[in-house]
Structure 1
Amino acid sequence: MNAALSARGISKYFHEPETFQVLKEVGFDVAKGEFVAIVGKSGSGKSTLLYLLSTMDTDYQGSITINGTIVTGLSQNQLSRFRNEHIGFVFQFHYLLPEFSVLDNVMLPALKLGKKSKEQIEAKAMELLAMLDIKGHESKKASKISGGQQQRVAIARALINEPAIIMGDEPTGNLDSKNTKVVFDIFRELARERGQTIIAVTHDDEFAANCDRIIEMVDGKIMP
């Protein structure tokens, strides 16, 4: 299998208020172009797992490989650059900069990466906004568009550096059913048409049921 992500023997402990094992020998692969939902009750370890996969938390046992690179053991500076280049994030709350324009919000990660000229980045951002049906809003402040539009801007921002994987943490958790369907359909199309790998933690049973595969977490383990 051509894996976009491989996790091997992932164990994680919390030490406050007392030592508690939150992930227990978790291992799985996600293929390139696969759309995977991670589900489970609160406290099952799904959000902790996503946090480790996203390289934000490095305090674990086991190994994580993303896009052919073993990210376990890399320095914070190396991880920060790797994240910006290889992982796109879509959260429950869009985390746009409210006083910046829609276009500026989308361009930011690419400007930070510094691999392309500002003109190339702007052209790519406009192409993504058109694809996500927000063209015409690019000069508006991010705070002046609707919640559903803000989440689409967040998806455009996640795609700007052409990442290997998009990771979603409850990406539709703050949206009504109409906008949830819009966001799901965007992800579905990205996976099918563009070969984009997507891993999303969700509480939404319908969202999960329509993904390519469901990884169910119970008490820190993946259900067989």
Structure 2
Amino acid sequence: MAVLKAHKISKYFYEPEKFQVLKEVDLSVDKGQFLALVGKSGCGKSTLMYVLSTMDTQYNGELEIAGTRLTDKHQNFLAGFRNKHIGFVFQFHYLLPEFTVLQNVMLPALKLGSKSKEEIEAKALEKLNILGMQEHARKMSSKLSGGQQQRVAIARALINDPDIIMGDEPTGNLDTYNSDLVFDIFSELTHTYKQTIIAVTHDESFAKRSDRVVEMSDGKIIHG
């Protein structure tokens, strides 16, 4: 069953002159699929990710996630939708250094406000346990290594049980050991927990081991 459907997505940049960066892109992603989005710099993959994540609304075409049509929705609706349905893992972890690991993971769920603080804390500990980070829950996030911080960022992305996790170069700031660890975590999330993951990556090893590689060139999908 497709959790994401994009149909004829086109996107233009207008500075310094008009340029078409996405050219009628069609993409369907099934639930529980681990997809790597690849291509040379400037091919349009990061722009496509921003459209798929609903953060960029200036495009032509149709976008649907979890059965909800998102094209032409207003920003307040999209912000709430993202928090509930999409988890984000970036190249940098963006943890708040003045907060503990547990507090960082809890933040998106506290913002959503659909559960009590006690329920959210229990759920955050559960997600940290999946990531092998439960023993660090009460530590300040600034005291962790880079690899540990990225695992906490993944736990934070999971806290609201999103339909999709979107990763923007999730291993781009990590050494080989921690890159492999993040890949193994993503693989377990998809194959054990049926979590859908879409990750933009330049890491060839990461991409080759994913379930599906979608390659872009010159604003179009040319493979996958």
Q: Which residue of 1 aligns with 2:123?
A: 124
**Secondary structure in 1 matching 2:187:** helix
Q: Which residue of 2 aligns with 1:108?
A: 107
Offset of residue 129 of structure 1: 0.9
Q: Which residue of 1 aligns with 2:21?
A: 22
Whole-angstrom CA distance in 2 between matches of 1:136 and 1:28: 40
Whole-angstrom CA distance in 2 between matches of 1:144 and 1:75: 39
Offset of residue 28 of structure 1: 1.3
Whole-angstrom CA distance in 2 between matches of 1:140 and 1:174: 22
Offset of residue 219 of structure 1: 0.5
Whole-angstrom CA distance in 2 between matches of 1:13 and 1:115: 38
Q: Which residue of 1 aligns with 2:77?
A: 78
Q: Amino acid of the residue matched to residue 132 of structure 2?
A: D
Q: Which residue of 1 aligns with 2:136?
A: 137
TM-score, length basis structure 2: 0.99
Offset of residue 156 of structure 1: 0.3
- Map Cα deviations across residues 149-188 of structure 1 (whole Å, 9 max, x no partner): 0000000000000000000000000000000011000000
Whole-angstrom CA distance in 1 between matches of 2:61 and 2:219: 14
Q: Which residue of 2 aligns with 1:189?
A: 188
- Map Cα deviations across residues 23-54 of structure 1 (whole Å, 9 max, x no partner): 00000100000000000000000000000000
Whole-angstrom CA distance in 2 between matches of 1:87 and 1:28: 17
**Secondary structure in 2 matching 1:136:** helix
Whole-angstrom CA distance in 1 between matches of 2:27 and 2:56: 18
- Map Cα deviations across residues 106-135 of structure 1 (whole Å, 9 max, x no partner): 000000000000000000000111111112
Offset of residue 5 of structure 1: 0.3
Q: Amino acid of the residue matched to residue 70 of structure 1?
A: R
Whole-angstrom CA distance in 1 between matches of 2:162 and 2:142: 26
Offset of residue 10 of structure 1: 0.3
Whole-angstrom CA distance in 1 between matches of 2:152 and 2:207: 22
Whole-angstrom CA distance in 2 between matches of 1:186 and 1:115: 27
Quote the sequence identity (%).
68
Q: Is 1:34 the equivalent of 2:18?
A: no
**Secondary structure in 2 matching 1:49:** helix
Q: Amino acid of the residue matched to residue 213 of structure 2?
A: I
Offset of residue 138 of structure 1: 1.0
Provide structure 2 residue ranges, at least 5 long, that are not aligned to the other structure. none
Whole-angstrom CA distance in 2 between matches of 1:115 and 1:136: 26
Q: Which residue of 1 aligns with 2:5?
A: 6
Q: Is 1:47 the equivalent of 2:46?
A: yes
Whole-angstrom CA distance in 2 between matches of 1:83 and 1:135: 26
Q: Which residue of 2 aligns with 1:204?
A: 203
Q: Which residue of 2 aligns with 1:223?
A: 222
Offset of residue 82 of structure 1: 0.1
